[in-house]
Amino acid sequence: MATADVIVIGGGLHGCSTALHLALLGIKTIIIEKDHVGRHASGVNAGGVRRLGRALPEIPLAEAALTGWQNINDLVDDDCGFVSPGQIKVAETEAELEALTARRETLLGLGFAHEEIIDRNQLRHLLPAIADHCIGGMVVRGDGHANPFRTVQAFKRKAVALGVRIFETTPVGGIQRRGSTWRVGAFEAPVIVNCTGAWGGQVAAMRPAVAMVHWQGRFWPKPSGKITASSMSWNHWILRHTPTRPRNAPILPLARVTLGERRPVSSP
Ligand SMILES: Cc1cc2nc3c(=O)[nH]c(=O)nc-3n(C[C@H](O)[C@H](O)[C@H](O)COP(=O)(O)OP(=O)(O)OC[C@H]3O[C@@H](n4cnc5c(N)ncnc54)[C@H](O)[C@@H]3O)c2cc1C
């Protein structure tokens, strides 16, 4: 029976980060992962690090997170592939540009000035190959992207260096209460943290009477067609969704491809 102060179930970014921060506090921690660390959402997401277009309540958190990313090397001894060339939301119509402008006004009223409106010429300066019908947009300079798989591996490495033990290919199938501790397979600890992302509900349901931390997994929509009429040279800027279309974000340096919805784009 392996014992610890805390058992973290799930070896994604949340699990590794939780374990790392516990280890920094001197708390003996075990991670139990059913597959391999970073195998799921944490290793393969779009890698976006942004304040652009955030829901209003998220903005202070996104700003704090950006500071964290700028100093990520101090935490995990790796820059995680983080670069901050900026992110752009393109307006294809006057109505979209008006919506972006209204949004900027709202943000300014709340004291946030990071979202900036750009006109047709500025857009072309940043994205020279943008389709002709695009008339402007919104940029956030300093937003960027990181390499998700590298990030989660860096968190894992640093956690292990600080004494965290990780058990991979070890699915948790049940959780039992034993006196003042929890037993999870061959592991025992007084505290469990559920970091199983999209499986969070399943793991929480193993002990429905017990409140556990439950991270909600998030997913991108399926990849589909191009958002603009011409192919793009991205110039390292990241194009995000336009105001009236679903999310479409291309970020991984391995494949600078734009993902968009399946609606055909009309000619200007
Ligand atoms: C740089 C970066 C950029 C990001 N950008 C985006 C983005 O642009 N868009 C976006 O939507 N999200 C983005 N995200 C967020 C990301 O996609 C997910 O929301 C996040 O990785 C979820 O992390 P997690 O640890 O909760 O889940 P996961 O990575 O899914 O980890 C959960 C782990 O739990 C394990 N597990 C499940 N059940 C069990 C069990 N019974 N026993 C043991 N283990 C179990 C799974 O195998 C899995 O490995 C980004 C993340 C990063 C790091």
Q: Where does the pLDDT of residue 26 fall: very low under 50, low under 70, confident under 90, or very high at 90 and above?
A: very high
The mean pLDDT of 74-99, rounded to a whole number, is 95
Q: Using a CB cutoff of 8 Å and minimum separation of 24, what contacts does 52-60 make?
A: 52/87, 52/88, 52/89, 52/115, 52/138, 52/139, 52/140, 52/143, 52/240, 53/89, 53/115, 53/138, 53/240, 53/241, 56/106, 56/107, 56/110, 59/107, 59/110, 59/112
Q: Are strands 136-140 and 87-91 parallel, antiparallel or unpaired?
A: antiparallel
More confident residue, 245 or 236: 245
Of 9, 20, 30, 42, which is best to mutate to test ligand 1, by the most ligand atoms within 8 angstroms of its C-beta? 42
Indicate if ligand 1 lies below 6 Å from the C-beta of 72: no
Q: Does residue 48 contact residue 249 with C-beta atoms inside 8 Å?
A: yes
Calpha distance 211→205 (Å, rounded): 10
Q: Where does the pLDDT of residue 94 fall: very low under 50, low under 70, confident under 90, or very high at 90 and above?
A: very high
Query: Is 28's pLDDT higher than 90?
Result: yes
The mean pLDDT of 135-163, rounded to a whole number, is 96
Indicate if ligand 1 lies below 6 Å from the C-beta of 195: yes
Indicate if ligand 1 lies below 6 Å from the C-beta of 250: no
The mean pLDDT of 67-81, rounded to a whole number, is 97
Calpha distance 53→189 (Å, rounded): 41
pLDDT at 205: 86
Query: Ligand 1, atom 35: nearest CA belongs to which residue?
Result: 10
Indicate if ligand 1 lies below 6 Å from the C-beta of 39: yes
- φ and ψ at 21, to 5 degrees? -70, -35
The mean pLDDT of 97-118, rounded to a whole number, is 97
Q: Does residue 44 contact residue 148 with C-beta atoms inside 8 Å?
A: yes
For 2-45+148-204, which CATH class?
alpha beta
Query: Is 223's pLDDT higher than 90?
Result: no
Q: Does residue 247 contact residue 219 with C-beta atoms inside 8 Å?
A: no
Question: Is the pTM higher than 0.75?
Answer: yes
State in Å: Cα 114 to ligand 1 middle.
27
Q: Where does the pLDDT of residue 248 fall: very low under 50, low under 70, confident under 90, or very high at 90 and above?
A: very low
Per-residue tokens: 13? 């970014």
Q: Where does the pLDDT of residue 50 fall: very low under 50, low under 70, confident under 90, or very high at 90 and above?
A: very high
- Would you kindly state where each structural domain of the chain is located, as residue ranges? 2-45+148-204, 50-144+220-239
Alpha-carbon distances of 195 from 69, 187, 191, 206, 217, rounded to whole Å: 21, 16, 13, 14, 10
Query: Is 218's pLDDT higher than 50?
Result: no
Task: Tell me the average pLDDT of the chain.
Answer: 83
Per-residue tokens: 232? 């793009």
Most confident of 110-119, 206-215, 253-262: 110-119
State in Å: Cα 129 to ligand 1 middle.
34
Indicate if ligand 1 lies below 6 Å from the C-beta of 8: no
Q: Are strands 6-9 and 29-32 parallel, antiparallel or unpaired?
A: parallel
Atom of ligand 1 minimally distant from the CA of 151: 53
What are 153-195's pLDDT values in tens digits?
A: 999 999 999 999 999 999 999 999 888 899 999 999 999 999 9
Indicate if ligand 1 lies below 6 Å from the C-beta of 53: no
Give residue 4's identity as a one-letter amino acid code: A
Calpha distance 120→141 (Å, rounded): 17
